[in-house]
């Protein structure tokens, strides 16, 4: 069965520092992977998705993620954090088959310190 | 383009009352998902529909919860009778079918439900 694990429920960085949010997946088939962001009092918004094309995926707001099959990872990075990046981030993997059901991780709350 | 529209945005009611949450998916999307989000349990999938047909309702907590999708542009999630432990943010999401799972879900802004 498909699953994702997000390491670190809380991550704190300084403004301008590198952001690294970790996600490892388990999938019995080639996975489709997604990162979502949730700002306070809002729904989840798609940041980027991996669908087996390029392994380095660029998303919105300067975020990118690299698919590494050998490490079963799909970590999210941003070179320089901005105060507006403070939010909760969710990694998800497609459940597979004909459905578009997603299996979500438990989320990582990113704090950005001035 | 209009996104997923949920109503109401906030609902406060007393325990024992019936609660109905509404969702309008993005036009042309054939899959619809209902989630519940709490601090304790995180994001939980309650039920999802493909082409208006419920496919998996294994996440529905108990018989007090029911969901319907009478047509492609409308779905409801009903709680009857409501209990304080049902307090949460409920999200609706939609996606196109097909692609073997490579289609992202698009979320509404949620309904914040408080049961007193």
Per-residue pLDDT of A86-107, as tens digits, reads: 999 999 998 877 678 899 999 9
pLDDT at A72 over 70: yes
> CB A46 to CB B110 under 8 A?
no
Chain A stretch 62-91, residues whose beta carbon is closer than 8 A to a beta carbon of chain B: 90
CB A102 within 8 A of CB A95: yes
Query: What's the whole-number mean pLDDT along residues A28-54?
Result: 91
Give the pLDDT band of residue B6 (cuts 50, 70, 90).
Answer: very high
A49 CB within 8 Å of a chain B CB: yes
B42 CB within 8 Å of a chain A CB: yes
Cα(B68)–Cα(B92) distance, integer angstroms? 13
CB A90 within 8 A of CB A104: yes
Of B48, B56, B101, the CB nearest to A32: B101
Mean pLDDT (chain A) is 93
Cα(B83)–Cα(B75) distance, integer angstroms? 22
Cα pseudo-dihedral A30, A63, B111, A32, rounded to 10: -10
Of A41, A99, A107, the CB nearest to B55: A99
For the segment B50-100, what is each residue's pLDDT rounded down to a tens digit? 999 999 999 998 899 999 999 999 999 999 999 999 999 999 999 998 777
A32 CB within 8 Å of a chain B CB: yes
Query: What's the whole-number mean pLDDT along residues A57-72?
Result: 95
Nearest CA-CA distance, residue B5 and chain A, Å: 11
Contacts of B40 (CB under 8 A, 6+ apart): none
What is the model's pLDDT at position B1? 65
Token reading at B72: 């492609």
CA nearest A74: which of A45, A96, A111, A47? A47
Of A46, A96, A106, the CB nearest to B104: A46
Contacts of A57 (CB under 8 A, 6+ apart): A48, A49, A50, A64, A65, A66, A67
> CB A96 to CB B99 under 8 A?
no
């Amino acid at each position: 069965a498909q699953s994702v694990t997000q390491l670190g429920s809380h991550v704190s960085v300084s403004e301008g520092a590198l952001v690294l949010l970790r996600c490892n997946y388990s999938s019995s088939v080639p996975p489709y992977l997604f990162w979502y962001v949730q700002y306070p009092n809002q729904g989840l918004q798609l940041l980027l998705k991996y669908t087996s094309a390029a392994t380095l995926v660029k998303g919105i707001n300067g975020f990118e993620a690299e698919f590494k099959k050998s490490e079963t990872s799909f970590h999210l990075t941003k070179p320089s954090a901005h105060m507006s990046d403070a939010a909760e981030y969710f990694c998800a993997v497609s459940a597979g088959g004909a459905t578009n059901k997603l299996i979500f991780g438990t989320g990582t709350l990113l704090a950005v310190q001035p | 383009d209009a996104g997923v529209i949920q109503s109401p945005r906030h609902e406060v009611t007393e325990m024992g009352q019936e609660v109905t949450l509404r969702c309008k998916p993005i036009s042309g999307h054939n899959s619809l998902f209902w989630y519940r989000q709490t601090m304790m349990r995180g994001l939980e999938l309650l039920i999802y529909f493909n082409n208006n047909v419920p496919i998996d309702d294994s996440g529905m907590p108990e018989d007090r919860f029911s969901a319907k999708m009478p047509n492609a542009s409308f779905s409801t999630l009903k709680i009857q009778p409501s209990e304080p432990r049902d307090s949460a943010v409920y999200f609706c999401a939609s996606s196109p079918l097909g692609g073997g799972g490579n289609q992202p879900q698009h979320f509404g802004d949620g309904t914040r439900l408080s049961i007193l």
